[in-house]
Amino acid sequence: MSVEKFLKQRAVNIAVGGSYTLANWYDRRGKPRTFACRTTRVSPFRMLVQVPVIGKIGSPITSHFSDFGKLEGVISDTTSGAFLLELEMTRSMREKLASKLTWLEKKLKDPHVTDVRKSARIIPASPHSTLILADGTTHSSFIIDTCRSPAQRYLPKCSRLLECRSPSEPASAALSDFCPMASPSSSSKNKTATLSTS
């Protein structure tokens, strides 16, 4: 599916920070490289994810998100600074994700739906930014979110992730809300720095 078509489908516009690995991308030690990422639009079938490194269409992705857990899929389309991930999961997993999305959507609309966290998270409009170190050097970075503690940021050039300190509706009903025609067979260490957001 294309990004254009997905934007016309039922989904939840929500920013959730996470990480992902691209197939055949390894570090010097031969381990899969991990990149930070952030969702912008999610459904139980696919999600649009902002990323610092875009893979090729058809590439398999393994991701992990704080609110969704581990998700696997394949890139079906790409756009500037993001890719569309077709989620591969069982029907029960889709129902669970649909229920979670329904709860998160209610939480976005109703401030009385609480989420127990020590401090509120602020999601920047654009995750792509520039980190300026004390010695004047700059690095392209990817901001996940900010709070009273320092931001979580990914520095592609440094190949590392810096983290300084970051429902009860029936599942089947939640899933049908996103896809009424869904059938039961569906499967499938720190330096002083200045942060300049783009």
Compare 127 and 24 and report the one with higher pLDDT.
24
Three-state DSSP class for 158? helix
Number of residues assigned to the chain: 198
Which pLDDT value is given to residue 62?
94
In the three-class reduction of DSSP (H, G, I as helix; E, B as strand; rest coil), residue 83 is classed as strand
Residue 12 · residue 41 · CB < 8 Å: yes
Residue 154: predicted pLDDT: 44
- Rounded Cα distance between 43 and 95, Å, is 11
**Vertex 130: Cα angle to 127 and 133 (nearest 5):** 135
Write the pLDDT tens digit of every residue in 65-101: 988 989 999 999 999 999 999 999 999 999 999 999 9
pTM of the model: 0.61
pLDDT for res 178: 64
pLDDT of residue 124: 63
**Torsion over CA: 40, 4, 72, 103 (sign):** positive
Mean pLDDT rounded to a whole number for the chain: 75
Q: How confident is the model at residue 197 (pLDDT cuts 50, 70, 90)?
A: very low
- Are 40 and 82 in contact by the 8 Å Cβ rule? The answer is yes
Would you state the pLDDT for residue 173?
A: 60
Indicate if the pLDDT at residue 11 is higher than 90.
Answer: yes
For 52-57, what is the mean pLDDT?
91
Based on its alpha-carbon atoms, the radius of gyration of the chain, rounded to whole angstroms, reads 18
Does 192 have pLDDT greater than 80? no
Superfamily of domain 3-114+166-197: predicted glycosyltransferase like domains (2.40.10.220)
Distance, C-alpha 66 to centroid of its chain: 9
pLDDT value of position 24: 85
More confident call, 175 vs 46? 46
* pLDDT, position 111: 64
152 and 143 Cβ atoms separated by less than 8 Å = yes
